[in-house]
Amino acid sequence: EAQVTQNPRYLITVTGKKLTVTCSQNMNHEYMSWYRQDPGLGLRQIYYSMNVEVTDKGDVPEGYKVSRKEKRNFPLILESPSPNQTSLYFCASGGDWNIQYFGAGTRLSVL
Amino acid sequence: GDSVTQMEGPVTLSEEAFLTINCTYTATGYPSLFWYVQYPGEGLQLLLKATKADDKGSNKGFEATYRKETTSFHLEKGSVQVSDSAVYFCALSRSNFGNEKLTFGTGTRLTIIP
């Protein structure tokens, strides 16, 4: 079954404690991306990757890092989380015709 | 820059009612247009798409037509069901140096009551 898997689904942490949200896809897609979803703002792109070792900033990259060492994995790293990063995060991978497949989401609360 | 404006919600309808969710966009060039649906506790799923002017996307009884003259992509369904209750997102994509970024509207929450 084609899928994008994110972990964890829920995470509560404290300000400044480094965390990583993992994302893995089994569709051999070259393109992967991270979005955050906030009420009234829709989804906004954080980072994207066009292939292994190729990453670039999206619209709201501040406070986030990513890496793409393998084609299937695209982790999102928050080195020093702050309360304004409390949000719902989605990983996506892209195939043909601009169609993107989304993970189930990670709900992060930073206290 | 690119932007998508969609109908404010929430929208509540009775089962078998006709549904329209309005969506308009601003973008240069010729974007692809999408409707994604998000069921409670799940990620976004592609509902339908259209890649050029006058294309009609359709799926599960939903339809939307790419209208370049009015820069719109309104979502319609003739008879909604309780199972259609979800949040609907209109989005566009315009490949920019390999970034297949989706630009989303703010979402419309739809609730169907029996």
Summarised one tens digit per residue, pLDDT across range B13-71 is: 999 999 999 999 999 888 999 999 999 888 899 999 998 899 999 999 999 999 999 99
Query: Is beta strand B11-14 parallel, antiparallel or unpaired with respect to B108-113?
Result: parallel
Residue B20 region, left (φ>0) first, then alpha (ψ -120 to 50), else beta? Answer: beta
For B44, which residue in chain A has the nearest alpha carbon? A102
- pLDDT tier, B4 (very low <50, low <70, confident <90, very high otherwise): very high
Nearest to A43 among B42, B49, B104 (CB): B104
pLDDT for position B58: 97
User: For chain A, which residues score pLDDT lower than 50?
Assistant: none
Q: Which of B3, B94, B100 to mutate to test the interface with A (most CBs of A within 10 A)?
A: B100
Interatomic CA distance for residues B32 and B49, integer angstroms: 7
Distances (CA, A) of B95 to A70, A93, B31, B71: 23, 14, 8, 18
**Which residue in chain B has the smallest CA separation from A4?**
B43
Chain A touched by B69 (CB under 8 Å): no
Residue B96 confidence (pLDDT) above 70: no
Which among A42, A50, A59 has CB closest to B106?
A42
Residues in chain B: 114
CB A92 within 8 Å of CB A101 = yes
